[in-house]
Structure 1
Amino acid sequence: MPKSIYREEYRVLVDLLREARERTGITQGTLADAFGWPQSTLSHLERGSRRIDVVEFIDYCRYVGIDPQATFAEFLHRSEKPVKRARKS
Protein backbone atom coordinates (compact mmCIF):
# COMPACT_ATOMS: atom_id res chain seq x y z
CA MET A 1 0.00 0.00 0.00
CA PRO A 2 1.44 3.43 -0.90
CA LYS A 3 2.24 5.99 1.77
CA SER A 4 -0.87 7.89 2.80
CA ILE A 5 0.41 11.17 1.39
CA TYR A 6 0.31 9.64 -2.12
CA ARG A 7 -3.17 8.15 -1.83
CA GLU A 8 -6.30 9.52 -3.44
CA GLU A 9 -7.94 9.79 -0.02
CA TYR A 10 -5.25 12.17 1.19
CA ARG A 11 -5.97 14.45 -1.75
CA VAL A 12 -9.64 14.43 -0.70
CA LEU A 13 -8.64 15.49 2.83
CA VAL A 14 -6.41 18.40 1.86
CA ASP A 15 -8.90 19.59 -0.78
CA LEU A 16 -11.62 19.62 1.87
CA LEU A 17 -9.46 21.71 4.20
CA ARG A 18 -8.38 24.13 1.46
CA GLU A 19 -11.99 24.59 0.33
CA ALA A 20 -13.02 25.43 3.89
CA ARG A 21 -10.19 27.95 4.26
CA GLU A 22 -11.05 29.60 0.96
CA ARG A 23 -14.77 29.81 1.86
CA THR A 24 -13.91 31.75 5.00
CA GLY A 25 -11.63 34.14 3.12
CA ILE A 26 -8.59 33.29 5.25
CA THR A 27 -5.35 33.48 3.29
CA GLN A 28 -2.61 30.88 3.41
CA GLY A 29 -0.33 33.51 4.96
CA THR A 30 -2.77 34.29 7.77
CA LEU A 31 -3.32 30.64 8.60
CA ALA A 32 0.39 29.87 8.35
CA ASP A 33 1.08 32.69 10.83
CA ALA A 34 -1.43 31.15 13.26
CA PHE A 35 0.57 27.90 13.10
CA GLY A 36 3.91 29.71 13.30
CA TRP A 37 4.86 28.39 9.88
CA PRO A 38 6.11 30.07 6.74
CA GLN A 39 3.36 30.38 4.10
CA SER A 40 5.21 27.86 1.93
CA THR A 41 4.66 25.13 4.55
CA LEU A 42 0.90 25.63 4.39
CA SER A 43 1.11 25.63 0.60
CA HIS A 44 2.93 22.27 0.70
CA LEU A 45 0.25 20.90 3.00
CA GLU A 46 -2.60 22.04 0.75
CA ARG A 47 -0.85 20.70 -2.36
CA GLY A 48 -0.50 17.35 -0.66
CA SER A 49 3.29 17.27 -0.43
CA ARG A 50 3.37 17.70 3.37
CA ARG A 51 1.44 15.60 5.85
CA ILE A 52 -0.96 17.02 8.37
CA ASP A 53 -1.18 15.22 11.68
CA VAL A 54 -4.37 14.83 13.69
CA VAL A 55 -3.60 17.69 16.09
CA GLU A 56 -2.81 20.03 13.18
CA PHE A 57 -6.04 18.89 11.50
CA ILE A 58 -8.05 19.86 14.58
CA ASP A 59 -6.24 23.21 14.88
CA TYR A 60 -6.73 23.91 11.17
CA CYS A 61 -10.46 23.21 11.41
CA ARG A 62 -10.94 25.31 14.51
CA TYR A 63 -8.97 28.23 13.12
CA VAL A 64 -11.06 28.39 9.94
CA GLY A 65 -14.24 27.94 11.99
CA ILE A 66 -15.34 24.46 11.01
CA ASP A 67 -16.14 21.53 13.27
CA PRO A 68 -13.35 18.91 13.20
CA GLN A 69 -15.77 16.01 13.73
CA ALA A 70 -18.13 17.14 10.98
CA THR A 71 -15.18 17.78 8.67
CA PHE A 72 -13.77 14.32 9.32
CA ALA A 73 -17.21 12.79 8.70
CA GLU A 74 -17.36 14.66 5.38
CA PHE A 75 -13.88 13.37 4.55
CA LEU A 76 -15.02 9.79 5.23
CA HIS A 77 -18.09 10.30 3.08
CA ARG A 78 -16.13 11.79 0.16
CA SER A 79 -13.39 9.17 0.26
CA GLU A 80 -15.60 6.14 0.79
CA LYS A 81 -14.96 3.25 -1.54
CA PRO A 82 -15.56 -0.48 -1.33
CA VAL A 83 -13.09 -2.38 0.82
CA LYS A 84 -11.33 -5.30 -0.85
CA ARG A 85 -11.09 -8.14 1.60
CA ALA A 86 -8.43 -10.81 1.43
CA ARG A 87 -9.73 -14.16 0.26
CA LYS A 88 -9.37 -17.14 2.55
CA SER A 89 -7.33 -19.99 1.13
Structure 2
Amino acid sequence: MAGTVHTEAYKKMLNALVEARRDAGLSQAQLAQRIGKPASFVGKYELGERRVDVIELLVVLKAIDADSQKLIRKLQVNLPDTL
Protein backbone atom coordinates (compact mmCIF):
# COMPACT_ATOMS: atom_id res chain seq x y z
CA MET A 1 0.00 0.00 0.00
CA ALA A 2 1.46 3.34 -1.02
CA GLY A 3 0.98 6.72 0.58
CA THR A 4 1.16 7.89 4.15
CA VAL A 5 -0.49 4.88 5.78
CA HIS A 6 2.79 3.31 6.79
CA THR A 7 4.71 6.40 7.88
CA GLU A 8 6.08 6.42 11.40
CA ALA A 9 3.74 9.30 12.28
CA TYR A 10 0.69 7.33 11.14
CA LYS A 11 1.85 4.25 13.05
CA LYS A 12 2.19 6.39 16.16
CA MET A 13 -1.39 7.59 15.72
CA LEU A 14 -2.64 4.01 15.40
CA ASN A 15 -0.67 2.96 18.46
CA ALA A 16 -2.14 5.89 20.39
CA LEU A 17 -5.66 4.82 19.36
CA VAL A 18 -5.05 1.24 20.43
CA GLU A 19 -3.61 2.43 23.74
CA ALA A 20 -6.58 4.76 24.33
CA ARG A 21 -9.07 1.95 23.58
CA ARG A 22 -7.27 -0.40 25.97
CA ASP A 23 -7.04 2.32 28.63
CA ALA A 24 -10.82 2.67 28.33
CA GLY A 25 -11.10 -1.06 29.06
CA LEU A 26 -12.76 -1.81 25.73
CA SER A 27 -12.27 -4.65 23.29
CA GLN A 28 -12.34 -4.01 19.56
CA ALA A 29 -15.84 -5.54 19.47
CA GLN A 30 -17.09 -3.29 22.27
CA LEU A 31 -15.73 -0.18 20.56
CA ALA A 32 -17.20 -1.27 17.24
CA GLN A 33 -20.60 -1.63 18.86
CA ARG A 34 -20.35 1.88 20.30
CA ILE A 35 -19.58 3.41 16.91
CA GLY A 36 -22.07 1.27 14.98
CA LYS A 37 -19.53 -0.64 12.92
CA PRO A 38 -18.49 -4.31 12.71
CA ALA A 39 -15.52 -5.40 14.82
CA SER A 40 -13.52 -5.85 11.61
CA PHE A 41 -13.70 -2.07 11.07
CA VAL A 42 -11.76 -1.44 14.29
CA GLY A 43 -9.38 -4.32 13.65
CA LYS A 44 -8.54 -3.14 10.16
CA TYR A 45 -7.73 0.42 11.12
CA GLU A 46 -5.75 -0.69 14.17
CA LEU A 47 -3.63 -2.92 11.90
CA GLY A 48 -3.20 -0.14 9.33
CA GLU A 49 -5.22 -1.99 6.69
CA ARG A 50 -7.76 0.84 6.58
CA ARG A 51 -7.17 4.57 6.88
CA VAL A 52 -8.89 6.60 9.57
CA ASP A 53 -10.19 9.97 8.48
CA VAL A 54 -10.52 12.94 10.82
CA ILE A 55 -14.24 12.48 11.51
CA GLU A 56 -13.76 8.77 12.23
CA LEU A 57 -10.89 9.63 14.57
CA LEU A 58 -13.03 12.08 16.49
CA VAL A 59 -15.97 9.64 16.73
CA VAL A 60 -13.69 6.88 18.02
CA LEU A 61 -12.15 9.20 20.60
CA LYS A 62 -15.60 10.31 21.71
CA ALA A 63 -16.76 6.68 21.99
CA ILE A 64 -13.85 5.83 24.29
CA ASP A 65 -14.20 9.11 26.18
CA ALA A 66 -10.64 10.13 25.29
CA ASP A 67 -9.39 13.71 25.16
CA SER A 68 -8.89 14.42 21.45
CA GLN A 69 -6.77 17.52 22.12
CA LYS A 70 -4.44 15.55 24.37
CA LEU A 71 -4.00 12.86 21.71
CA ILE A 72 -3.30 15.44 19.00
CA ARG A 73 -0.72 17.20 21.20
CA LYS A 74 0.94 13.85 21.87
CA LEU A 75 1.13 13.14 18.12
CA GLN A 76 2.54 16.59 17.33
CA VAL A 77 5.75 15.76 19.20
CA ASN A 78 8.42 14.90 16.63
CA LEU A 79 5.95 15.29 13.78
CA PRO A 80 7.78 15.21 10.43
CA ASP A 81 7.86 18.26 8.18
CA THR A 82 6.87 16.20 5.13
CA LEU A 83 4.70 13.22 4.36
**TM tier, smaller:** 0.7 to 0.9
- In structure 2, relative to structure 1, the CA distance for the partners of 1:72 and 1:82 (3 Å cut) is closer
**SS of residue in 2 equivalent to 1:6:** coil
Structure 2 residue ranges without an equivalent (≥5): none
RMSD between superposed Cα atoms in Å: 1.6
The ranges of structure 1 where at least 4 consecutive aligned residues each deviate by more than 2 angstroms after the TM superposition are 81-84
Letter in 1 for 2:55: V
Structure 1 residue ranges without an equivalent (≥5): 85-89
Equivalent pairs counted in the alignment come to 81
- In structure 2, relative to structure 1, the CA distance for the partners of 1:71 and 1:39 (3 Å cut) is same
Alignment of 1:13-52 (within 5 A): 13-52=13-52
Q: Hey, which of these two has a bigger chunk of helix by percent?
A: 1
TM-score, normalised to structure 1, is 0.81
Bigger CA radius of gyration:
1
